[in-house]
A and B are shown apart, each in its own frame.
Chain A
Amino acid sequence: MKFESQLLKGIAPVVVLEILSRGPMYGYELSQAIEQRSGEILTLGKGTLYPLLYNLEAKKLVKGKWENHQSSRKRRYYSITGRGKDQLAKQKAQLKELTTGLNLVFGGAIAIA
């Protein structure tokens, strides 16, 4: 589903941080993981992914590192930092509250794990 870009704008960083909190990934792997774990509902545009990762890296929420891949090729792996974890926890709490509020407004069950 194609969502409004403004709607996704605030969510994308927290989604990336959540995925990376489960383990380091490289860019392609990350974009696949987002698709899979969101049941193909969320897709991060290729043109958005890398700028987002670099911005998170600039904010020191994630850390990028070149490492040798299984196939002996070097890939840049991104992992969440401590600061990133704190930010993730904070933003998840905010989203939870937001969901609660939206539920009350729409009168439906919008849950966030």
Chain B
Amino acid sequence: MRIKKLFVRMLVAVFLGLCAGIVMEFSSEWLVFPVFLIVGVLACIFIEIVIEVIRGTLTITREDLRKMKKPVLRILIATSIGLFAGIVMEFISVWATFPFFLIVGVLVSVTVVITIDLVRYRRSMRRAFLEGKGLGMEQLPVSTAELIRLVIKKMRYHKEVRSEVMAELAEHFEDELKDCGTDEEKEQKAKELIAEFGDAKLLAVLLRRAKKRCRPLWRTVVARTFQAVGVLILCFVVYAVWFSTGKPTISVDYLALLNQLNRPEVHDEDNAWPHYEEAMALYVEPDQRIQELTERRRKDFEKRLSFSDLNKEKQDMIRKWLKENEANWDNLELSQKQLFERCFNEGLVPLAGDVYPGEYSSKNYSEFDDAVEVIIERIEHGTSDDMLGYEYQMMEMRMGYGYGLHFGMKREIGLDPDIALDSEVISLFGSYSQEELAKIRKSIEAGVIKEWIDSPPVVVKSLFDYLLPFEKKLIVKWVEENEEVWREFVAGSSKSYCYREFQLQDGVKDKLLWEIGSSYFISIRKLTRVGQWRSRIAREQGRIQQSIDDCLAIVRAGSHLQGRGTIVEQLVGLGMCRLAYDDIFHILASERFSADELKRLQNQLSQLYPQGYPLMNMEGERIAFMDTVQRLFTDGGPGGGHLIPQKTGMCGDIYDVKDVAEEIPVGKKIFANTALTSMCLLHARRDATIAVGKQVYKQAEVIVKMSPYERHKRDVGSIEEIIFSMPRYRYTLLEYVIPAAERISELLYQGRALHEATIAILGIQRWRLEKGGYPATLNELIEAGYLTKLPMDPYSGTSLIYKKTEDSFVLYSMGENFEDDGGKVFEKDGDVQKWGARGAREGGDAVFWPVAKLR
């Protein structure tokens, strides 16, 4: 008995340990390996053993040991089975560092055996109890004993109480039958007594009720509390099931409403969309390399290091090194030297580039500038041969649990397969041994440094100049392949508006409005890139007017997306315009134009927004919000309906949460689903969400129409403040879907400033060409007819600041710190912050002119 009680307590300890472990895993965000589970179980078992020792119940007698034999044997067998299963699992999982499966296997099998033993023990105890040994049942006739057993069994109460009742009833029957002489008399009398006792089940019920009334008050309270909690849990489970299985009712076609909203009242012939659609259909996708090149932004191109940039000390050090190593280069065979020089002209060095080759194999070679930096570093630090960047070692790497991964990287010589020179280089050196290649490498390094020192600094006019010669060829080829695409795009951009009807794709029934146009926006961005690079190529080739025209086409197309539709659509349009203006500025800064050309350009830009610069239209966003509510909430019920846990994943699609969720381990997922349901339980109901959403959108509409300066002056509360002032976790959906109105307003007004600054600069340049010099103020431009209105500064409430300098002028905005820093820009980590740094003293201004040179 003692040992069995010990087993029971051990099992309870294991269970408590598991519970504690689960709580800890939950708190630690459910690590991949269940450390806390195992530690919890082991800790509780240890504590239980300590308690048992302290209580002195581990004084095991010989009799106990005899009784323990069988259960211990069973546990040992179970442990062996668990170990074996664990070994198999470890083997399958390529033998993880920590024997997770071993431990789990043993624990599971031991737990199973203990559970089986416990169940058998309970059954045997129940049988023994009902037999009533020691309670006087042995002396009773069988029928009487059966009656009593039936009553006790049906009583269903605490064992101790039932024992007492059994004993009492047994006594009573014994007393009633004591005067009977023979067994037959006893049986006869017993039958009469049984008849007198009445229905056994009814008696059991009466006895149970009576005994329950006898229990102390605290026990009654505890019992009722547990019952109440059980009922509550049951109600909660039913509610949770009902809650989770709710379905939305799509009653309003918000898609049609959105389309109706966006439809302008003009002729369809003047619609740009068919041209854009055609352009998207004809679009030739670039391969991965060109895609990467074309997606680079200005700041992605690093400053090219030139010899003159170095200080005298470094220059002397490099010259000294070259003097010592130049012979390596000079001693090369002529054919080898000529081949390498041809590689240098392509901006490449025929040595292995990155250590880890990726899918995109552009780095099988070193770019010239990269090679220069690495060689300089080597010279500076005096490192030995087998070090650094593109050098290799044979490496063996072990990753994760049980993985062995061998990275073997040989010293490579070669170029990019897209380059014709590559095959020449490989055929010349491909058979060389490592030692021979090491000698060649030293020669190449000397040649690179020599070439670098002797080369004049590269004049960078546009981003096109950053590309290597062969990369330029690739981009030119890609742009030529998209020539027809561009023609369609330009044709579309010349139309007065762009209207497209949003539709769900075939087979798609359930999609948020925000997502429906997303592929369209991506496509139009791709077309924009074609135009940008076409413009840069034209500029490189001296076709300046075409270059400008391409940028104008992008601006016009961008303007088509502004002022209607969803926020994303409008921001895409704004972004397209910004990209184009950026290039326009650089063209204006470095190329010559006649006054007429500038006037034409200025007029085209001025006529872009006949109704004034379009501010953000929130109506499409509001419609999308209402559509989201009807898809994510049930319809009806308390509060108008509740948020459906399964449907909240639709919002995740917008924010790539779904992609992230797929990487989450199972444990976290289970927990994540529980957390999601909890979030939905706490979330405000549909009607309240709509009411608050409308209020927030109303405020957002006010905010987006205010300039940053107006908001700053009036200290208008942000949307974030509104949302976070609400009860926590009640409006989580709004936190996801409500747009950042302040930032949108900022982008909008910056875009407007950019547009107006361009027009103003064109006016100033016209003045310079026609009148000579520069105007004293912008008002003079207006008076002379070179400008119709002053360009507004979003950060000051007045016009952009114009200052005439000795030989030019400065035109700038105060920037995000709302302070005039005299036209100085703010740099952070070498990058110019275009609009300055918010809240910083001397946070810098947004300078439109002069245009910062490409580095």
Chain A residues in the interface with B (C-beta under 8 A): 26-29, 31, 45-47, 50-51, 54-55, 57-59, 66, 73-76
A54 close to B176 (CB less than 8 A): no
Residues of B within 8 A of A73 (CB): 136, 171
B198 close to A27 (CB less than 8 A): no
Number of A-B pairs, beta carbon distance below 8 Å: 58
Q: Is B206 an interface residue (CB 8 A)?
A: yes
Residues of B within 8 A of A75 (CB): 171
Within 8 Å by CB of A47, from B136, B175, B203, B209, lies B203
A46 close to B167 (CB less than 8 A): no
Query: If A50-B165, A54-B211 touch, does A45 touch B196 (CB 8 Å cutoff)?
Result: yes
Min C-beta distance of B438 to chain A, whole Å = 100
Beta-carbon nearest neighbor of B200 in chain A = A47
B164 close to A55 (CB less than 8 A): no
A27 close to B172 (CB less than 8 A): yes
A47 close to B198 (CB less than 8 A): yes
User: In the complex, A74 Cα to B214 Cα: how many Å?
Assistant: 21
Residues of A within 8 A of B26 (CB): none
Q: Is B207 an interface residue (CB 8 A)?
A: yes
Chain B residues in the interface with A (C-beta under 8 A): 136, 164-165, 167-169, 171-172, 175-176, 193, 196-199, 202-203, 206-207, 209-211, 213-214
Q: List 23 A-B contacts (CB under 8 A).
A: A27-B168, A27-B171, A28-B171, A28-B172, A29-B175, A31-B172, A45-B197, A46-B172, A46-B196, A47-B199, A47-B203, A50-B169, A50-B172, A50-B207, A51-B206, A51-B209, A54-B207, A54-B213, A54-B214, A57-B214, A58-B214, A73-B136, A73-B171
User: In the complex, A73 Cα to B209 Cα: how many Å?
Assistant: 27
A55 close to B172 (CB less than 8 A): no
| Pairs A-B, 7 closest by C-beta atoms | A54-B210, A58-B213, A47-B198, A28-B175, A51-B206, A47-B197, A58-B214
Min C-beta distance of A59 to chain B, whole Å = 8
A28 close to B176 (CB less than 8 A): yes
A46 close to B211 (CB less than 8 A): no
Beta-carbon nearest neighbor of B194 in chain A = A46
User: In the complex, A10 Cα to B227 Cα: how many Å?
Assistant: 33
A51 close to B198 (CB less than 8 A): no
B210 close to A58 (CB less than 8 A): yes
User: In the complex, A73 Cα to B168 Cα: how many Å?
Assistant: 11
B210 close to A55 (CB less than 8 A): yes
Query: If A45-B196, A58-B214 touch, does A51 touch B171 (CB 8 Å cutoff)?
Result: no
Beta-carbon nearest neighbor of B176 in chain A = A28
Min C-beta distance of B156 to chain A, whole Å = 16
Beta-carbon nearest neighbor of A29 in chain B = B175
Min C-beta distance of B164 to chain A, whole Å = 7
Beta-carbon nearest neighbor of A30 in chain B = B172
Residues of B within 8 A of A27 (CB): 168, 171-172
Beta-carbon nearest neighbor of B193 in chain A = A46
Within 8 Å by CB of B198, from A28, A45, A74, A76, lies A45
Residues of B within 8 A of A31 (CB): 172
Residues of B within 8 A of A26 (CB): 171
Q: A27-B168, A46-B197, A47-B198 are in contact. List 16 more A-B contacts (CB 8 A).
A: A28-B172, A31-B172, A46-B198, A47-B196, A47-B199, A50-B168, A50-B169, A50-B172, A51-B203, A51-B207, A54-B207, A57-B214, A58-B214, A73-B171, A76-B164, A76-B171
Beta-carbon nearest neighbor of A75 in chain B = B171
Residues of A within 8 A of B193 (CB): 46
Residues of A within 8 A of B213 (CB): 54-55, 58-59
Min C-beta distance of A35 to chain B, whole Å = 12
Beta-carbon nearest neighbor of A45 in chain B = B196
- Which residue, of A26, A54, A55, A74, has the highest number of chain B Cβ atoms within 10 A? A54
User: In the complex, A54 Cα to B175 Cα: how many Å?
Assistant: 20
- Which residue, of A26, A27, A47, A51, has the highest number of chain B Cβ atoms within 10 A? A47
- Which residue, of B164, B172, B197, B199, has the highest number of chain A Cβ atoms within 10 A? B172
Min C-beta distance of B463 to chain A, whole Å = 93
Min C-beta distance of B362 to chain A, whole Å = 89
Beta-carbon nearest neighbor of A53 in chain B = B210
Min C-beta distance of A103 to chain B, whole Å = 33
Residues of B within 8 A of A58 (CB): 210, 213-214
Min C-beta distance of B309 to chain A, whole Å = 100
Residues of A within 8 A of B210 (CB): 50-51, 54-55, 57-58
Min C-beta distance of A17 to chain B, whole Å = 16
Residues of B within 8 A of A76 (CB): 164, 167-168, 171
User: In the complex, A77 Cα to B209 Cα: how many Å?
Assistant: 21
Min C-beta distance of A107 to chain B, whole Å = 36
User: In the complex, A93 Cα to B826 Cα: how many Å?
Assistant: 104
Min C-beta distance of A19 to chain B, whole Å = 16
User: In the complex, A4 Cα to B193 Cα: how many Å?
Assistant: 20
User: In the complex, A73 Cα to B167 Cα: how many Å?
Assistant: 11
Beta-carbon nearest neighbor of B164 in chain A = A76
Residues of B within 8 A of A46 (CB): 172, 193, 196-198
- Which residue, of A26, A28, A46, A55, has the highest number of chain B Cβ atoms within 10 A? A46
Residues of A within 8 A of B211 (CB): 54
User: In the complex, A39 Cα to B164 Cα: how many Å?
Assistant: 31
Min C-beta distance of A45 to chain B, whole Å = 6
Beta-carbon nearest neighbor of A27 in chain B = B172
Residues of A within 8 A of B198 (CB): 45-47
Beta-carbon nearest neighbor of B175 in chain A = A28
Min C-beta distance of A61 to chain B, whole Å = 12
Query: If A50-B207, A54-B210 touch, does A74 touch B167 (CB 8 Å cutoff)?
Result: yes
Residues of A within 8 A of B203 (CB): 47, 51
Residues of B within 8 A of A50 (CB): 165, 168-169, 172, 207, 210
User: In the complex, A51 Cα to B347 Cα: how many Å?
Assistant: 104
User: In the complex, A59 Cα to B213 Cα: how many Å?
Assistant: 8
User: In the complex, A58 Cα to B209 Cα: how many Å?
Assistant: 10
Beta-carbon nearest neighbor of A55 in chain B = B210
Min C-beta distance of B149 to chain A, whole Å = 16
User: In the complex, A45 Cα to B196 Cα: how many Å?
Assistant: 6
Residues of A within 8 A of B176 (CB): 28
User: In the complex, A74 Cα to B198 Cα: how many Å?
Assistant: 26
User: In the complex, A74 Cα to B167 Cα: how many Å?
Assistant: 9
Beta-carbon nearest neighbor of B209 in chain A = A51
Residues of A within 8 A of B169 (CB): 50
Residues of A within 8 A of B165 (CB): 50
User: In the complex, A29 Cα to B171 Cα: how many Å?
Assistant: 11
